Amino acid sequence: MQMKSIQLKNKNWLNKEYRTQDTNIMPFFHYHPFQDFDRRVADVKKREYKRQELSELLTEMNRNWGASEETLAQITRLKEKDSMVVIGGQQAGLLTGPIYSINKVISILRLAKEQEEKLHIPVIPVFWIAGEDHDFDEVNHVFSLREKRLYKHTMHDYPFVKKSLSDLSIDHEKAETWLKGFLNDLQETNYTKKWFEETLMSLKASETYTDFFARLIFRIFPSQGLVLMDAHAPEVRQVESDYFAQMIDQHQTIHTTSYETLQHLQQKGYEIPLEMEEGETNLFYRGQSGERILLKYQHDQWIGKHDEVSLSTEEMHAIARKQPEALSNNVITRPLMQELLFPTLAFVAGDGEINYWATLKRSFEALDLYMPPIVPRLSLTYVTGRIQKLLESRVLDAEEVIHEGLEHVKTNWLVAQSSVPVATLFEQVKQSMAQVHLPLQNYAATVGTDLEQLSQKNLHYITKQLDYLKQKTYQKLEDKYKHELDQFDEISFALKPQQGLQERVYNPYFLINEYGYDCFRQLVEATSLSFEQEHYIVYL
């Protein structure tokens, strides 16, 4: 396994400045991304955490998902007063979702190990499963290659209401049919039977999509000591009861500070895809049907966004005390809850998360908190042995493909295969035809205006016929060189699918099917990966 670091083009500008610790953006954060860990340790020691309750619920939760002794031992260390966590999270995607979720797990494991060795304190890797998320359309599919084209495998198991994924039961019959459909698009290898049988076992043992996600993560990383947490579990909400009360009291300050910071950042030219409206409380309430209702604050009442419910502040406090599982966080308050819950050394974030965390510094301060150091997760593109051979045969560089794609390169190569430059030839014929046709147009003009117009239309028809002939010529060339053009397409689909990064489109199981689970486990121990590098090409 070899790795090459590269700088991505068209990277979000805020992220670029944050990585380089530019003075324009750093005032929006409490710590620098790649240092300040000693200072962070000192700051966290000043606060108290519910370590005992947290350890007990995490032990039970992880044991139910089949966690290893290494994971359970890490949870026990959380009780130690000087222990801290490296944490990051994601929604519970099907088959663990896009590869970036796995890249985030690798990042959490690596950073926790690195900092424990440097700081000489227990540092526990924690993955926060956003089980409260209700956007099923965002996680209900994976992509594969079918007949040399991207195919979207969608789980058609739509909930009637906006239920959190941790509340959404799996239709096992539909899920097994879906899984077999995905399997049919993969070539059988020495690893196929094993991972499919284990995945099917995990599916049958799971009640919800969060359960399924957790069990698969432990299949991929069984003994690395990773700790998982379903953020929507009722026992977690019980521990969070006091923290919801704080957010209820400070909801106006939290919203105002984040909104004002967002406006300030956008006026400075930063693109942050975050929408905020007046009166938002940044908290959800679970109604009687199980639907997740976003609350706004109007006329001293906590009201559903579509008037589904109306609650007083006193009633909200009663819910926080007696029924905290009915409450959940949104994108603004989730980071605050994470900081209240865990003694966090660092938060591992994707590009989008860094963008919206930039709006939260003053919101953290409203709860007398510091935003933890935010470390950009590792970003990786995986090159299989077959794709590497195709790159060599076509004399292409993986970095250039990731940057620019292959459409222009493929077209130029095709045109070059003809002994006659097709585009130039047809352009010359068009110019010659226009010159030959000009005397006819001039003569037609002397006869009558209608005949002049007819002559111009005649030239237009001739030009269209030349374009048609040109198109047919290219089609014949494409048929002749179909094998080579398919190779260009295969490289493009592998390294720049949908004109984006591989890790945002493909699921990790296309690599597990070819290389087994070890292709990801090895990266946890790889010495050549640095968080300060923007992107890596990994040659498997």
Q: Quick one: average pLDDT of 169-185?
A: 93
Task: Give the pLDDT of residue 418.
Answer: 67
For residue 273, pLDDT beyond 60: yes
Q: What is the sign of the dihedral through the CA atoms of 21, 23, 24 and 27?
A: positive
Which whole-number Å values give the CA distances from 242 to 43, 296, 318, 327, 390, in the listed order?
21, 21, 11, 12, 58
Question: Any idea what the Cα angle at residue 287 is, between residues 281 and 289, rounded to 5°?
Answer: 150
CA-only gyration radius of the chain, Å: 28
Q: Quick one: average pLDDT of 155-172?
A: 78
For residue 415, pLDDT beyond 80: no
Task: Give the pLDDT of residue 424.
Answer: 67
Other CB atoms within a 10 A radius of the CB of residue 102 amount to 26
Q: Quick one: average pLDDT of 329-356?
A: 96
What span, in angstroms and rounded, lies between the C-alpha atoms of 186 and 448? 68
Q: Quick one: average pLDDT of 260-265?
A: 96
Mean of the per-residue pLDDT values for the chain? 92
pLDDT bin (cut points 50, 70, 90) of residue 145 is confident
Among 1.20.1090.10, 3.10.20.90, 3.40.50.620, 3.30.499.10, name the CATH number for the domain at 10-269+330-379: 3.40.50.620
287: helix, coil or strand? coil
pLDDT bin (cut points 50, 70, 90) of residue 513 is very high
- For the chain, how are helix, strand and coil distributed in percent, rounded to 5? 55, 15, 30
Task: Give the pLDDT of residue 49.
Answer: 97
Other CB atoms within a 10 A radius of the CB of residue 223 amount to 12
Query: Considering only CA atoms, which of 277, 297, 273 is closest in space to residue 285?
Result: 297
For residue 222, pLDDT beyond 90: yes
Share of the chain above pLDDT 70, in %: 98
For residue 312, pLDDT beyond 70: yes
Q: What is the pLDDT of residues 90-105, one digit of tens each?
A: 999 999 999 999 999 9
Give me the torsion for CA of 225, 332, 328, 104, rounded to 10°.
-20
Identify whether the C-beta of residue 54 lies closer than 8 Å to the C-beta of residue 239: yes
User: Residue type for 203, please?
Assistant: L
Other CB atoms within a 10 A radius of the CB of residue 306 amount to 9
Question: Any idea what the Cα angle at residue 228 is, between residues 125 and 110, rounded to 5°?
Answer: 25
Q: What is the pLDDT of residues 236-246, one digit of tens each?
A: 999 999 999 99
Identify whether the C-beta of residue 208 lies closer than 8 Å to the C-beta of residue 170: yes
Task: Give the pLDDT of residue 430.
Answer: 80
- Reported residue count of the chain is 540
Buried b (16+ CB within 10 A) or exposed e, 72-94: eebbebbeeeebbbbbbbbbbbb
Task: Give the pLDDT of residue 226.
Answer: 98
Identify whether the C-beta of residue 466 lies closer than 8 Å to the C-beta of residue 474: no
pLDDT bin (cut points 50, 70, 90) of residue 420 is low
Residue corresponding to tokens 């099907």? 94
List, as one string, the DSSP characters of 115-169.
Answer: HHHHH-S-EEEEEEE-TT---HHHHSEEEEEETTEEEEEE-----SS---GGG-B
Q: What is the pLDDT of residues 202-220, one digit of tens each?
A: 999 999 999 999 999 999 9
pLDDT bin (cut points 50, 70, 90) of residue 298 is very high
For residue 539, pLDDT beyond 90: yes
